[in-house]
Amino acid sequence: MLTFLFITFFGKTDLGGRVAIFTKEHLQCSVVSTNGIVNKHAPIKKMRIKNRFIPWFDSDLAELLHLKNSIWQNAQHTLTQADWLSFRQMRNKCTQAIRKAKASYFKEQFSLCGSNPKKFWKTVKDLENKPSSSQLPMSLNVDDVVVTDKEHMAELFNHHFI
């Protein structure tokens, strides 16, 4: 690279060409060295966002999952069959504990509903974890024609359902 820079730089006879080459090479070196320094001292790390509230998730499950993750890291590091067997057993134990916690939470929630259908369906809706949307569609596709006018869409719905 230095030989190429030397030949390119001194091959130019005009001052503007030399300045352009020097500036371009200097900026590339500066960016590379700056990125190297930043990545060394403040590397980009992937993080999981853990602020989602899960009602059936408790501290016992968190501790169990933390233990499973540490066993997984150990198995990744050692690569022994015994460590991988230990990880698989802990993974299965975590899966069973999560299923049990979910089932007991759902049973408790449904038992609180009693025989009231309104409470039952409200609980089902809350447990679905889907954001509710009460927005109307912005457009309709009727016979390969896109309709965006709200009054025309209302007339089409009225015609369809009545």
- Chain segment 71-129, per-residue pLDDT in tens: 999 999 999 999 999 999 999 999 999 999 999 998 998 899 888 999 889 888 877 76
Give the range among 87-96, 128-137, 148-157 with minimum mean pLDDT. Answer: 128-137
Looking at every residue in the chain, the average pLDDT score rounds to 81
Q: Please determine, for residue 134, whether its predicted confidence score (pLDDT) is greater than 60.
A: yes
Closest C-alpha to 96, from 121, 123, 70, 68: 68
Q: Please determine, for residue 2, whether its predicted confidence score (pLDDT) is greater than 50.
A: no
Q: Does the global pTM surpass 0.75? A: no
Residue 162 to residue 155: CA distance in whole angstroms: 10
Q: Token pair of 53, please?
A: 């509230």
Helices and strands of the chain, counted as H and E runs: 6, 2
More confident residue, 99 or 31: 99
Please state the domain extents for the chain: 2-41, 59-122
Q: Cα-flanking dihedrals φ and ψ of residue 89, to 5°? A: -65, -40
Q: Please determine, for residue 10, whether its predicted confidence score (pLDDT) is greater than 70.
A: no
